[in-house]
Amino acid sequence: DTGVSQNPRHKITKRGQNVTFRCDPISEHNRLYWYRQTLGQGPEFLTYFQNEAQLEKSRLLSDRFSAERPKGSFSTLEIQRTEQGDSAMYLCASSRDRGDPPYNEQFFGPGTRLTVL
Amino acid sequence: QKEVEQDPGPLSVPEGAIVSLNCTYSNSAFQYFMWYRQYSRKGPELLMYTYSSGNKEDGRFTAQVDKSSKYISLFIRDSQPSDSATYLCAMSGGGNTPLVFGKGTRLSVIA
């Protein structure tokens, strides 16, 4: 296993179209996070899962966004009726819950770059 | 005011210089403090983390946390051109909770 993978790496779409991204976490990582990063900014939290349960959603996650992790393994992030403001890098991260502390490192994938025309 | 403030730079230094990067934050509930490095078109990778206050050293990197001042720093000694990247500070209240990132500081180390 070589880390967190995300597909596609790049997506260009027209405004109003729906898009779906996929994230495959590191095996046995039970926590999975989605972040969004725009140019010149740090990643911003969108949502996260523990196994298949979605535990928290940011206010950034409007009702056009939906995320799933149906079997506690891979996750999908869907954006409906895309807007130009959705153009960003969408990053997925996973971690293994070993209790708190220590810090459970979040390993990031390479991201999916979305461009909405 | 954002929860985490970080000067975006860019910062340009000659090879071999000591680099100082820092962030300030406003949320006193933060207990975990991380530094991530991000190369262009890649995801962030963890460099160091510190739990609560104190210093931590790992090779050429030293992380410092001053919770009383709500201020964290990363020092890079003997900087190398391969250190050229964007450095992101990140914080969280728990070891498994979502991270709050700074904007990132873009560093260039010139040979």
Q: What is the mean pLDDT of residues B80-107?
A: 93
Task: Look at residue A98 in the predicted model and tell me its pLDDT.
Answer: 72
pLDDT for the residue numbered A96: 87
The band of A99, judged by pLDDT with boundaries at 50, 70 and 90, is: low
Q: Do A106 and B6 touch (CB under 8 A)?
A: no
Residue range A27-46, pLDDT digits in tens: 989 999 999 999 999 999 99
- Nearest residue, CB atoms, A102 vs list B44, B45, B95: B95
pLDDT range class, residue A100, cuts 50, 70, 90: low
Whether residue A101 has pLDDT greater than 90: no
Interval A40-83: pLDDT, tens: 999 999 999 999 999 999 988 889 999 999 988 999 999 999 99
- The more confident residue out of B96 and A113 is A113
**B72 and chain A: CB distance < 8 Å anywhere?**
no
B49 with A103: Cβ contact below 8 A: yes
The per-residue pLDDT for A61 is 87
B49 contact residues in A (CB cutoff 8 A) = 103, 105
pLDDT of residue B46: 92
- Which whole-number Å values give the CA distances from B47 to A71, A114, B37, B38, in the listed order? 31, 27, 6, 10
Tell me whether residues A4 and B43 touch, CB distance under 8 A. yes
- The β-bridge partners of A47 are A34, A57
Q: Tell me what pLDDT residue A72 has.
A: 85
Average pLDDT (B82-107) is: 93
A25 close to B (CB below 8 A): no
Each residue's pLDDT tens digit, A13-25: 999 999 999 999 9
Contacts 24+ apart (CB under 8 A), A51-58: A56/B98, A58/B98
Selected for mutation to probe chain A from B96, B99, B100 (highest A CB count within 10 Å) is: B96
**Mean pLDDT score of chain B:** 93
Phi, psi of A102 (to 5 degrees): -85, 180
**What pLDDT score was predicted for residue A1?**
52
Mean pLDDT in residue range A86-94 = 97
Average pLDDT over residues A84-88: 96
Q: Is A30 on the interface with B (CB under 8 A)?
A: no
Q: Helix, strand or coil for residue A58?
A: coil
Report the pLDDT value the prediction gives residue A24, as an integer from 0 to 100. 97
Q: Nearest-CA distance from A102 to chain B in Å?
A: 6
For β-strands B105-110 and B11-14, DSSP reports them as: parallel
